[in-house]
Amino acid sequence: MTDLTTVIHDLVHPSSARLPSCEHDAASPETDRLRAWDREHVWHAFTQMQEYEPLLIEQGEGSWLIDTEGRRYLDGSASMWCAVHGHRHPRLDAALTAQAAKVAHTTNLGLSNPTTVAFARRLVEIAPAGLEKVFFSGDGSSAIETALKMAFQFWLQSDPPRPERTRFVAIGEAYHGDTLGAIGVGGVDRFTAMFQPLTFHAIRVPSPGGPCPASGNPPPQLAEALAAVERVLTAHAGEIAALIMEPLVQMAAGVYVHPPGFLRGVADLCRRYDVLLILDEVATGFGRTGTMFACEQEDVAPDFLCLAKGLTAGYLPMAATLTTPRIWNAFLGTHADRRTFFHGHTYGGNPLAAAVGLESLRLFRDDAVLESLPAKIERLRDHAARIAGLDHAGAVRQCGLVVGFDLVADKATGQGYPWQERRGMQACLAARTHGALLRPLGDTVVIMPPLSITLDELDLLAAATEAGIRDATAP
């Protein structure tokens, strides 16, 4: 064990010298009862319930999560990419309770409240130019559905109307959520293939961000990838409502990092062919890539910007679809003109969520969060370079404060493990015993900490990840 993993080991298991597997450790009767109920009643997302092993997190504290047995883990996935300021930030807690003392919910259907209005205003101020209109919903998938439907209806009501613009272009291995419209533009086949009969078929262009496979075609280079986009826009000229993409990095695909210039190139093509551009910043928004929004890095302002995960810093479900006056204006008219956007979500614009979101944006400013990132990104890069040296670490892809490691059976050829072995999951489960909670994407192990993580904590997290990969790939 390295010194750092010894440190973590002692932190997680203060009174024991061995390395237990958390799930099978003796636990209190209360924890045992809750684990049994969890297995019995709670159907977990993206989880094979026959194999599910409960871990019950009861508390959070900064970058740490604490289970019902008092064990501490570094939160290496920022609670599914949401907790940008870590857990139980006193100012976010205070914003939430202050709003709760006023009103918890007011409907967004033709009614408003001061907190939600102020939050919308602040979002417009920090968003790329032109995005002046904010439609609130409850989760990332809904933010995508909103953009897809707005884009579709826009062309029906544009001047002149273009009712034949009904199709969407999406990137290979894209992930845009799990509702039916979102999987229509999604391309992670292992999630969506079986549901294809239920949804529409997007026109797909290859992702330029994936790993080089041991066999088969490598991902296209920049010029080739942009040429493929242009071919599609020409071949389907006049039929396309919008192109949707995750800017800079396709997270759920396995941290697929695009070559610099791809976003800018796609945005230029969309302008040239008058195709609307929807940017899904559900994962990249709020600092993850080093800037508030990823699209700033290539100076792109889309027609639609979809935000969710970091929007309320992991406190409450909320999402937003930002758009431009051009889109908004096409929906104006009297009730009798039938141009209204008949779409909404009951919890859209919830004031508790808005209060936390607003305070989160103040924290970005007061704590100089974005300014603190370069040092952390560099430190993560150093750790990534070291971990890449492991016998079974293949390609490493980093974008800002997120990195993915592909686990490979054979480093020389890049040959992966049989998927049934779930080495990525094994590595993450092993990392738990070293004090880190991680979530893999297939056989890609991902480190995506809260932006507020300290450099020391980042060292511990990387060491635990490294130890987990070692354990899961030991011969």
**Where along the sequence are the contacts to ligand PLP (CB under 6 A)?**
139-141, 144, 175-177, 246, 251-252, 280, 282-283, 308-309
Nearer Cβ to ligand PLP, position 78 or 387? 78
* Nearest distance, CB of residue 345 and ligand PLP, angstroms: 11
CA gap 390, 399 in Å, rounded: 21
* Nearest distance, CB of residue 35 and ligand PLP, angstroms: 25
Nearer Cβ to ligand PLP, position 60 or 247? 247
Nearer Cβ to ligand PLP, position 8 or 279? 279
Which residues have CB under 8 Å from 429's CB, separation 6+? 468, 472
Nearer Cβ to ligand PLP, position 137 or 433? 137
Residue of minimal Cβ distance to ligand PLP: 140
* Nearest distance, CB of residue 397 and ligand PLP, angstroms: 16
Integer-rounded Cα radius of gyration of the chain: 23
* Nearest distance, CB of residue 131 and ligand PLP, angstroms: 18
* Nearest distance, CB of residue 225 and ligand PLP, angstroms: 19
* Nearest distance, CB of residue 287 and ligand PLP, angstroms: 15
Q: What are phi and psi of 8, to 5 degrees?
A: -65, -45
Nearer Cβ to ligand PLP, position 144 or 387? 144
* Nearest distance, CB of residue 251 and ligand PLP, angstroms: 5
Cβ(332)–Cβ(340) below 8 Å: no
* Nearest distance, CB of residue 373 and ligand PLP, angstroms: 19
